[in-house]
């Protein structure tokens, strides 16, 4: 038996969040879908898993509830990668704690097929927009590690280490794309001229790029019990390097 894991997000105005939460939680329970969905007025962000027929039914519920055509990335695992079904209402679907105009990020997306050429240019600053413990597991060759504990620390790193008058070309990436989609317009507002964000993130790059052409080194950290996936999007061998403050030990059932 294999469990399908889907990851998806969208910046989209949502209303009546308590009703949305109740609808999604009920469907998760009915279809045995486990994982976490974060909803906010600005949109949704989630990774969930289940048996493929049930995932297909759940996608239909999601599309009806959100009024959208769901775009998601898929991988598979022999065991359930999550223990619970959670739907959480938050202020942001990814916490930057900065006000940004998302439309300023339009035109900054880079396809997987173009990514290697972009980051191989010596004038390009390649920025890993993820947390330090994620970068330890793997990153793109030559990428800058900002050594941050959380995404909301990234603006400070940029302001202390780069200058838009000098560093004009930045190519950034994250796991699935959501952090970059929020950070690209932030960089634009700071005055950076040429910004690229890897469309679909690392996971889409690994899915679309042949191993012999890949500039990815190591494994990719994921926020579920697999800990990391390899270049073939199968469970890797990395250990969980998250600080205890972020990932406290799981309690052993009595």
CATH superfamily for 102-229 is Rhodanese-like domain (3.40.250.10)
Residue 83's contacts (CB-CB under 8 Å, 6 or more residues apart) are 34, 225
Per residue in 5-63, pLDDT (tens digit) is 999 999 999 999 999 999 999 999 999 999 999 999 999 999 999 999 999 999 999 99
- Is 229 within 8 Å of 236 (Cβ atoms)? yes
Strand-pairing partners, residue 72, are: 8
Q: Do domains 3-89 and 102-229 have the same CATH topology?
A: no
pLDDT of residue 251 exceeding 90, the answer is no
In the chain, where are the structural domains located? 3-89, 102-229
* Number of neighbours of residue 32 by Cβ within 10 angstroms: 13
Annotated catalytic sites, by residue?
174
Confidence band for 247, pLDDT divided at 50, 70 and 90 = low
Q: How many Å apart are CA 215 and CA 217, to the nearest integer?
A: 6
Name the pairing type of β-strands 220-221 and 194-198: unpaired
Q: How many Å apart are CA 33 and CA 85, to the nearest integer?
A: 7
Chain centroid, CA 55 distance in Å: 19
Per residue in 145-162, pLDDT (tens digit) is 999 999 999 999 999 999
Q: How many Å apart are CA 76 and CA 218, to the nearest integer?
A: 19
Say what the pLDDT of residue 241 is. 81
Which of the four CATH numbers 3.40.190.10, 3.30.70.100, 1.10.287.80, 3.90.1280.20 does domain 3-89 have? 3.30.70.100
**Predicted TM-score (pTM) above 0.85:** yes
Let me know if 203 is exposed, middle or buried by CB neighbors in 10 A (0-12, 13-18, 19+): buried
Say what the pLDDT of residue 244 is. 60
- Across the range 229-235, mean pLDDT stands at 92
Say what the pLDDT of residue 245 is. 55
Give the closest residue to 135 by CA, choosing from 159, 157, 168, 166.
157
Per residue in 149-198, pLDDT (tens digit) is 999 999 999 999 999 999 989 999 999 999 999 999 999 999 998 999 99
* Number of neighbours of residue 38 by Cβ within 10 angstroms: 19
Chain centroid, CA 225 distance in Å: 16
Give the closest residue to 171 by CA, choosing from 148, 149, 201, 150.
201
């Amino acid at each position: 038996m294999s469990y399908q894991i889907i990851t998806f997000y969208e910046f989209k105005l949502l209303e009546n969040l308590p009703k949305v939460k109740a609808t999604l939680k009920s469907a998760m329970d009915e279809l045995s879908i486990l994982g976490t969905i974060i909803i906010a007025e600005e949109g949704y962000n989630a990774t969930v898993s289940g048996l493929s027929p049930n995932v297909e039914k759940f996608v239909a519920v999601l599309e009806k509830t959100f009024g959208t055509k769901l775009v998601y990335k898929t991988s598979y695992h022999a065991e359930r990668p999550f223990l619970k079904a959670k739907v959480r209402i938050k202020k942001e679907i990814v916490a930057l704690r900065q006000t940004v105009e998302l439309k300023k990020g339009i035109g900054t997306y880079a396809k997987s097929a173009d990514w290697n050429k972009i980051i191989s240019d010596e004038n390009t600053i390649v920025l890993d927009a993820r947390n330090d413990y994620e970068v330890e597991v793997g990153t793109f060759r030559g990428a800058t590690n900002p050594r941050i504990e959380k995404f909301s620390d990234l603006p400070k790193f940029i302001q202390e280490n780069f200058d838009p008058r000098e560093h004009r070309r930045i190519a950034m990436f994250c796991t699935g794309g959501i952090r970059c989609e929020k950070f690209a317009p932030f960089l634009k507002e700071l005055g950076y001229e040429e910004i690229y964000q890897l469309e679909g993130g690392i996971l889409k790059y690994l899915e679309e790029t042949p191993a012999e052409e890949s500039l990815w080194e190591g494994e990719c950290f994921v926020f579920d019990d697999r800990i990391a996936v390899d270049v073939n999007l199968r469970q890797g061998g990395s250990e969980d390097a998250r600080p205890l403050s972020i990932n406290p030990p799981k309690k052993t059932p009595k």
